Structure 1
Amino acid sequence: MPAKTVVFTNVRKFDGDKFRWLSSGEYIQMSGRAGRRGIDQRGICILMVDEKMEPSTAKMMLKGSADFLNSAFHLSYNMLLNQFRCEDGDPEKLLRHSFYQFQADRALPDLEKQVKELTRERDSIVIEEEDSLKDYFNLLQQYRSLKKDVHDIVFAPKYCLPYLQPGRLVSLLYASNDKRPSFFTHEPVTWGIIVNFQKINNLNEDKRPEDSQYTVDVLTRCMVAKESETKKSIKIVHLKEQGEPLVVSVPLSQIVSLSVVRLYIPKDLVPLEARENMLKVLSEVYSRFLKDGIPLLDPEEDMKVQSNSYRKAVRRIEALDRLFEKHEIRNSPLIQQNLQVFHDKLELSAKIKLVKKSMRSSTALAFKDELKARKRVLRRLGYITSEDVVMVKGQVACEISSADELILTELMFSGSFKDISIEEMVALLSCFVWQEKLQDAPKPREELELLFSQLQETARRVANVQLDCKVQMDIDSFVNSFRSDVMEAVYAWAKGSKFFEIMELSSVFEGSLIRAIRRLEEILQQLTFAAKAIGETELEEKFQEAVKKIKRDIE
């Protein structure tokens, strides 16, 4: 409701993942309440900011535009069945006139313009000897792929762990200042000294799957940059560049090779002087072997790598090396520049392909494939005929929109609701409305747990049918979406227990439980209409009685 003054006690919010600043749309929505129409000439908005806010953040929040309005339209079985039930119902017509389809169609002219501009830009790039350059580029891609395969084999834990001893020299990949992609067969590396390695259990988002078990602590030269008052960024640089001697944890994928050389390292590397002295020794070793390179461990002879895949990949790399040496543009002084231009041209072609794919999606009817898949599901489960005529099961599902209509219908037709008491039925239905995850949810009693198992079996069976019919879904996630956390509490509620006794059965908040019961009442009302639609008088009366039992003092 409108008010003269709106006060923001905080300008940050938790979005379920992290705390962030309010978006411009959120600010507009809330601050717009200030000022009563016909009463106040102006509204007052007060922001209470108790932490540093960058000017750009404040400008974005206060003067930014409203959030874009995007369609959240989605297909449901209930909607399809109600369309089929109507004499002039046409799901495709409904989709064609949806806001989602309108947005897709509206984007088409912009996409066409984008394709023309990208095509013009790509065609304007003329490269001499493009065929030879393309051949060289493809060889380079194969070479890198094979090198990665070899690396993954050699640095498998069973081979590399015995050689990750403290003091061993290792070569590491590091990010150069040039942000453009490199087209050399060998990427830039620097050297470091192993301090330790450790096993990790959790895989961070920025680490590759093959690094999920071990990280290696390496002493090397690093550049430290201050991003904010509390955050610093550390970047590995070449041994000869300016930087600080730091011990950093690197994934196995960042280690290129292991040396036969091992250095004695002091037990305490905390003092800066100790770390600097170790890097001086490393620099001396690097200078001594500058001509031929620091000697490396041989994967087969030293590390005992026994793998046919490794030998095959090595032979192919050797063959590619010979092809590189003989290639006609190998010694061209402009090879790197030409490869960069060719790479840019390929990226433009990829963008054009992506935009054209979006255009095809826009011109096609939205959800067309999903519509076909969901029709197959309804036919497979016996809700509609091959001519899209709604059958008895479909009539039941038509009445259910507040929970999963397929699972509830399957339970009704399997007799699950007939053979149990009203209290048990209400407890079972609570699994459809409860979405929160409780840390210490009580285990339901044996008879309720048996009912929950039947629900999960039904959900898994229906999910498998949907997956077979090409409906995109994760079966385990779908089955686990039905939760038994409040079955005991709802059972006690239907039994007439006092509220304080019910709250002792679960750690759920009072308001959350009341909201769940309100939703439960809505489902029961829909099930009542569903039972009435197919002439199931006994079930209809049972659902009505269940409504009376759970309503109690809730208005």
Structure 2
Amino acid sequence: MDYLPPVGPTDLPLSLLEMGCSGRFELITHPQPNDQPLYPQSTLPHGLPPTSVDLETEVEKRFLRDPAWLPIHDTDAAFHRFLKLAERDVHVDSLLHCSSSPLHSGISVVRDPTTGMLLDFTEVLLGDTGISAKNSMSLQRPPNPNPSESLRGSNTNYPFLPGGMEELTLEQIKTKSELEEDIDFENGLLTVPPGLKVGMDFSDKDAKTTKGEINLLSLLSTFDDIIDSQPEEEEKGLGSGDAPKLPRTNSLEDLGIKDSPSTPETTSTEKKNGGTTKPGEGHEVKKRWAIPVDITSPCDDFYKRIPNPAFKYPFELDMFQKQAVLRLEAHESVFVAAHTSAGKTVVAEYAIALSQKHMTRTIYTSPIKALSNQKFRDFKTTFGDVGLLTGDVQLSPEASCLIMTTEILRSMLYNGSEVIRDLEWVIFDEVHYINDAESRVIQSHSLPGVVWEEVLIMLPDHVSIILLSATVPNAVEFSEWIGRIKKKHIYVISTAKRPVPLEHYLYTGNSTKTQKEMFLLLDPTGNFQTKGYYSAIDAKKERTSKHAQSFGTKNASQKTTPNQDRAVWLSLLHFLSQRQQTPVVAFTFSRTRCDDNARSLASMDLTSSVEKSEIHSFFQKSLSRLRGGDRQLPQILLMRDLLKRGIAVHHSGILPILKEVIEMLFSRGLVKVLFATETFAMGVNMPARTVVFDSIRKHDGTGFRNLLPGEYIQMAGRAGRRGLDATGTVIILCKSGVHDMGDLHVMMLGKPTVLQSQFRLTYTMILNLLRVEALRVTDMMRRSFSESHRDTQAHEQQIGQLKQTLSSLPPLDTEGQLSDLLPYYYTVTELRITAEALQCAVLGSVNGLKALSVGRVVVVNNKQHFNALGVLLQVSSDSVNRTFTALVICEKGNEEGGGDSPNASAFPHLYNTALFIPEGPCSHTVQKLKLQDVSAITVKTLKVIPDRIIDNYNKRQQPRFRLDPPGQAISTATQELLRLAEANPGGVVTLDAVNDLQLKSVDVVEGTMRLRLLQDSLKDFNCIHSPTFSEQFLRVQERMSVQEELDKLLFLISDQSLSLLPEYHQRIKVLQSLQYVDSSGAVQLKGRVACQISSHELLLTELLFENALSPLAPEESAALLSCLVFQQKTQVEPHITNTLQEGIERVLAVAQRIGELQSDCGITQTAEEFVGQFKFGLTEVVYCWARGMPFAEIAQLTDVQEGTVVRCIQRLDEVLKEVRQAARIVGDSVLGSKMEKASLAIRRDIVFTASLYTH
């Protein structure tokens, strides 16, 4: 039976009928058409009315699917318009032109050496061809043709080769060839190229090596190498103790001696080579780079040696100045250390004059910009041709003498500035501030010590160095470091003589009646006067109640009330004014306290009418360049009133232009009393008649402490005007009490703080060095002052000597029974080290010390005894340096020298537990033992009478009782120790650290288990049964001692011993994670951008690449970036826009991400600490300033002082310039234009008023 196929939905005679436009449908039947598609039917005559097309759909259709209608696609019309605008002749041949490559050879003339006659021409090879600032560090490279880059350089330039880091010559490479490893082109080949993650392995996986088969073709192909190799006897003579070959490196400093796998983690640079070299052999006199100059020797022929000096002074030079000038004439580098106002500037002036005479250039650097401005004025007056380069000022950059901050010089060195070519001298002033880690000398968040060390390392060889410093105790050591890294002599010229001697007083007065209570504490010759100190105490006690007297004199740190402070200052200043001991500099270590002290003197007037007129005239003239509103600022009005009365304030919160006015009036003698913070001591020569210390305690960022000797000397040195005062007066106020005598003595007579390295790694420094293949970051670390103890050259000489010693040692016999001799040596060495470490843990524990009680039998090992038994008689109570008095057995007649066992001399490096047993009559000695002398604590104790033993022994040490027999107590103890040793010749049972002493730490338990395992393994060695074991073991010991010393020296000169190497690896890991560098260390685009930024480079670069600044207006961008330059705390909450708030949240999010990444990579700074350094307290202030609000109004928006606001905005302008330059590198012209607008918006009015020193 046939079935019909099922009917589909399309086969039914049905259709849809749309009823109008209501959206209702009806189902209708109709005759089925023949192969015609069915369309929906409608009751409307023309179907549904048209509807509007979706905008997105229309845009997609018109602009993406069919954009031919756009004019840009009308190529014919565009081409015709182009031909009309740019009609020119077509030269197709010009496309075939290519520039010629540089010549690598030239023609040289051959002349007769006698007559000079032309004989022939010869071809010579030319060096330095094809080099440029983009590929070479040579001074022979062509100058940069771009004038805009000649001064500051470019971050795409190579720096010039640093001095002392020259490439090795062929002779040097030849001498170091023995330290290299021959390249093996068959084994250990890389399969992944550097910078790539995937490589190719061309090894034959199917190849099989059959043991015992010899490839004759391989032997024939290497026959020539076998002939050239060393004889077999010589190779065998080297033995297995040969030093391992060392890998190659690309370092410029040396051939990079790497550490071998057996290199220890810690070494001592002071350890000798254990007697492996004979006396007098291999010892060379160490070259000294620092040469101290004797300034006491007369210099009578000074004017004969320099008949035409480059600069003539109107006064006779001091001896140290003459010595320095002589060295400068010889183009030598000098380190001049002298007190304030001693005349160090003479040395700088003569160097500038020499450079002008030689038509070269000099750079003067200072740690702060204010000091640069002051020096610019002084040198401009003296020499005329002087320029200034700071963050916001550039004056006469073509001058022969350029004054700049150290940061700018560092940037010029890294960027290959053309100024470096003509540079003859670099002068570093105030070098003693290399130790300063406080914000008062920080420029753009960089510590001066860090910048100075980088600059000193990066200076080329042709540049000589002048360092000017206050007196420091390690000037020779610092100069030795500089000389060694630069490979040039540094002449150290130091003088402790003061031009004006100082007298130091304690002041206890607080009223008109007591205003003369000033007591001499330190006279001009440096003698400490205790009489004056006690007189000050007595004067204080007379005015204190009995209750206060009961607390003693150590109450100087108690706070006083403002009225008490005012009374002290009024009485002191009246007294000094009467004695004509003004001007006075009052150092006060708080800006608020400075202001309060000045305001409290409202009733004091110290100027005459003539001086008032001069002050008023100068004040008005100096501030005439300000706008009318700015001249009415509260701080300016207050300072004008104070100055008229001869009083002024100087600290970082004062407006820069006001500080300059105060400095100039002070130098004229019109300011009688100046309340200043420590920064005033860093200024140029502005001495006073008297210096007063409001307190001797200061806050250093972490807590309060007394002034250091160097700080006190630097500030006290401002007292005494050369040529005007016979002595300078220094006064310490005793407000609430007299300071402790010990503190005063240390502060006044203690040694100044030594110069210490502040070198630290920064991302900018790492990236700047990584972009130059010839420089390595490890080279920079190795040359830092923190690594100054490393003497690579001396170590290399010792390495050569040790290698010769190794080659001269007799070969080892390691065959037969002695085949396990070397493993036995390693086992015994590990056993000895483990036992010593375990004993140290025991002696350092409480239970171990309790076991060392009177009567305990111990095993003694020191210079006098080897495994000798002793009994403890006394235990000292000193918990730090604990000692024991013990009776120890020894040989008869050898009581003084101890009792050496034959085992001690035969096997000094064996782990030997055999006890000392005297060969003849047994004697004894009583001596003091240290903890390290006790090598084991036995389980035995003896009943002894300590006092009788010690008294009897001491009595018999006297000459007349020396022959008396020992007492009964000594004889009994000696015999019991002897019987114990004879009963246990192989070693006595000792206290178990775990079971007996109950030490349960992991290290002790594991050490005990390891010790037992090693002891049990000793009996399994066959070498101990060999008849020549003793002789061969001594040979092993001798060879291994030399090898261990060699390994230590190799480690010392390797990169692995650098203290900052772990941090360097951590920072590299951060940079790789953020894609600033790739896996091979090549700097990527983000890294090149970060090179343009001097501080907070990671945060700024990440914000740049995440377009975080794009949604912001120029004034909002400036306000947001103010968090990078503002470092103080404020109690005022800023009111900001929503857009700016979103920007702040984004900055904090990026900072949090970077901080967490750094923490994950091992950097010690936590994420919270990293985020916490960005403060937004001036966001509203900067935003309003950029929008044009007057300074007087924005000063009302915050509690931050006006001077701090100005300084932050000035530094913000430098940040905006860096971001603008970084945006141009990325190609973001919109952001670059925005940063330029932001910079123009904030560069106005009082914030960027020109310095008085430069105009």
The bucket for the TM-score relative to the shorter chain is 0.5 to 0.7
Q: Determine which of 1069, 1080, 1091 is the counterpart of 1:398.
A: 1091
State how far apart, in whole Å, the 2-side matches of 1:413 and 1:47 are. Answer: 57
Which residue does 1:91 correspond to in 2?
A: 777
Q: Does 1:61 align with 2:747?
A: yes
Q: Does 1:44 align with 2:728?
A: yes
Q: Determine which of 78, 83, 93 is the counterpart of 2:764.
A: 78
Q: How does 1:185-224 map to 2 (within 5 A)?
A: none
State how far apart, in whole Å, the 2-side matches of 1:508 and 1:334 are. Answer: 76
State how far apart, in whole Å, the 2-side matches of 1:55 and 1:419 are. Answer: 63
Tell me, what secondary structure is at the counterpart of 1:514? helix
State how far apart, in whole Å, the 2-side matches of 1:399 and 1:29 are. Answer: 36
State how far apart, in whole Å, the 1-side matches of 2:1212 and 2:1202 are. Answer: 15
Q: How does 1:156-305 map to 2 (within 5 A)?
A: 180=879
When residues 105 and 458 of structure 1 are mapped into structure 2, their CA distance, relative to the original with a 3 A threshold, is: farther
Q: Which amino acid aligns with 1:374?
A: R
State how far apart, in whole Å, the 2-side matches of 1:21 and 1:140 are. Answer: 38
State how far apart, in whole Å, the 2-side matches of 1:529 and 1:441 are. Answer: 32
Q: Which amino acid aligns with 1:68?
A: V
Which residue does 1:32 correspond to in 2?
A: 717
Which residue does 1:21 correspond to in 2?
A: 706
Which residue does 2:41 correspond to in 1?
A: none
Larger mean CA deviation between 19-28 and 453-462 belongs to: 19-28
Which residue does 1:312 correspond to in 2?
A: none
Q: Determine which of 1227, 1232, 1250 is the counterpart of 1:540.
A: 1232
State how far apart, in whole Å, the 1-side matches of 2:725 and 2:1200 are. Answer: 45
State the Cα distance separating 1:136 from its structure 2 match. 8.2
Q: Which amino acid aligns with 1:45?
A: T
Q: Does 1:530 align with 2:1215?
A: no
Which residue does 2:1244 correspond to in 1?
A: 552
Q: Does 1:427 align with 2:1119?
A: yes
Contact 1:399 1:530 in 2 (8 A): yes
Tell me, what secondary structure is at the counterpart of 1:45? strand
State how far apart, in whole Å, the 2-side matches of 1:543 and 1:131 are. Answer: 63
Structure 1: gaps (5+ residues): 110-129, 145-176, 184-326, 344-356
Q: Does 1:377 align with 2:1081?
A: no
Q: Does 1:388 align with 2:1098?
A: no
Q: How does 1:429-444 map to 2 (within 5 A)?
A: 429-442=1121-1134, 444=1136
Tell me, what secondary structure is at the counterpart of 1:451? helix
State how far apart, in whole Å, the 1-side matches of 2:1098 and 2:841 are. Answer: 55
Contact 2:691 2:730 in 1 (8 A): yes
Tell me, what secondary structure is at the counterpart of 2:1064? helix
* Greater gyration radius: 2
State the Cα distance separating 1:427 from its structure 2 match. 1.3
Alignment RMSD (CA, Å): 3.9
Q: Which amino acid aligns with 1:373?
A: Q
Larger mean CA deviation between 531-540 and 374-383 belongs to: 531-540
When residues 334 and 457 of structure 1 are mapped into structure 2, their CA distance, relative to the original with a 3 A threshold, is: farther
Higher relative contact order (CA 8 A, sep 6+): 1
State the Cα distance separating 1:41 from its structure 2 match. 7.4
Q: Which amino acid aligns with 2:1218?
A: Q
Q: Does 1:101 align with 2:793?
A: no
Which residue does 1:514 correspond to in 2?
A: 1206
TM-score, normalised on structure 2?
0.25
State how far apart, in whole Å, the 2-side matches of 1:517 and 1:21 are. Answer: 33
State how far apart, in whole Å, the 2-side matches of 1:523 and 1:54 are. Answer: 47
State how far apart, in whole Å, the 2-side matches of 1:366 and 1:134 are. Answer: 27
When residues 54 and 480 of structure 1 are mapped into structure 2, their CA distance, relative to the original with a 3 A threshold, is: closer
When residues 515 and 420 of structure 1 are mapped into structure 2, their CA distance, relative to the original with a 3 A threshold, is: same
Q: Which amino acid aligns with 2:1058?
A: L
Q: Deviations over 1:70-93 (max 9, x none)?
A: 111110001111112234222111
When residues 388 and 142 of structure 1 are mapped into structure 2, their CA distance, relative to the original with a 3 A threshold, is: same
Larger mean CA deviation between 359-368 and 409-418 belongs to: 359-368
When residues 180 and 488 of structure 1 are mapped into structure 2, their CA distance, relative to the original with a 3 A threshold, is: same
Tell me, what secondary structure is at the counterpart of 2:733? coil
State how far apart, in whole Å, the 2-side matches of 1:481 and 1:19 are. Answer: 22
State the Cα distance separating 1:384 from its structure 2 match. 1.4
State the Cα distance separating 1:331 from its structure 2 match. 9.0
State the Cα distance separating 1:390 from its structure 2 match. 1.6
State the Cα distance separating 1:404 from its structure 2 match. 0.6
Contact 1:528 1:539 in 2 (8 A): yes
State how far apart, in whole Å, the 2-side matches of 1:132 and 1:534 are. Answer: 61
Q: Deviations over 1:278-332 (max 9, x none)?
A: xxxxxxxxxxxxxxxxxxxxxxxxxxxxxxxxxxxxxxxxxxxxxxxxx955897
State how far apart, in whole Å, the 2-side matches of 1:361 and 1:435 are. Answer: 40
Contact 1:396 1:533 in 2 (8 A): yes
Q: Which has the higher helix share?
A: 1
When residues 26 and 138 of structure 1 are mapped into structure 2, their CA distance, relative to the original with a 3 A threshold, is: closer
When residues 446 and 30 of structure 1 are mapped into structure 2, their CA distance, relative to the original with a 3 A threshold, is: same
Contact 2:689 2:728 in 1 (8 A): yes
State the Cα distance separating 1:45 from its structure 2 match. 3.1
State how far apart, in whole Å, the 2-side matches of 1:372 and 1:483 are. Answer: 29
Identity, % of aligned positions: 32
Q: Does 1:414 align with 2:1098?
A: no
State how far apart, in whole Å, the 2-side matches of 1:132 and 1:399 are. Answer: 54
Larger mean CA deviation between 429-438 and 499-508 belongs to: 499-508
Q: Which amino acid aligns with 2:1070?
A: V
Q: Deviations over 1:384-420 (max 9, x none)?
A: 122222211111100101x310010000000111221
Q: Which amino acid aligns with 1:86?
A: V
State how far apart, in whole Å, the 1-side matches of 2:1236 and 2:1225 are. Answer: 14
Tell me, what secondary structure is at the counterpart of 2:1134? coil
Contact 1:23 1:61 in 2 (8 A): yes
Larger mean CA deviation between 443-452 and 65-74 belongs to: 443-452
Contact 2:1156 2:1166 in 1 (8 A): no
State how far apart, in whole Å, the 1-side matches of 2:1133 and 2:721 are. Answer: 46
State the Cα distance separating 1:57 from its structure 2 match. 2.4
Q: Deviations over 1:248-304 (max 9, x none)?
A: xxxxxxxxxxxxxxxxxxxxxxxxxxxxxxxxxxxxxxxxxxxxxxxxxxxxxxxxx
When residues 134 and 35 of structure 1 are mapped into structure 2, their CA distance, relative to the original with a 3 A threshold, is: closer
Which residue does 1:495 correspond to in 2?
A: 1187
State how far apart, in whole Å, the 2-side matches of 1:515 and 1:132 are. Answer: 60
Contact 2:1185 2:1194 in 1 (8 A): yes
State the Cα distance separating 1:519 from its structure 2 match. 1.4
Q: Which amino acid aligns with 1:388?
A: G
When residues 87 and 56 of structure 1 are mapped into structure 2, their CA distance, relative to the original with a 3 A threshold, is: same
State how far apart, in whole Å, the 2-side matches of 1:85 and 1:376 are. Answer: 16
Contact 1:96 1:366 in 2 (8 A): no
Contact 1:132 1:329 in 2 (8 A): no
When residues 91 and 180 of structure 1 are mapped into structure 2, their CA distance, relative to the original with a 3 A threshold, is: closer
TM-score, normalised on structure 1?
0.54
Which residue does 1:156 correspond to in 2?
A: none
Contact 1:427 1:491 in 2 (8 A): yes
Contact 2:1221 2:1232 in 1 (8 A): yes
Tell me, what secondary structure is at the counterpart of 2:1082? coil
State the Cα distance separating 1:451 from its structure 2 match. 1.0
State the Cα distance separating 1:498 from its structure 2 match. 2.1
Which residue does 1:8 correspond to in 2?
A: 692
Contact 1:4 1:43 in 2 (8 A): no
State how far apart, in whole Å, the 1-side matches of 2:1105 and 2:837 are. Answer: 66
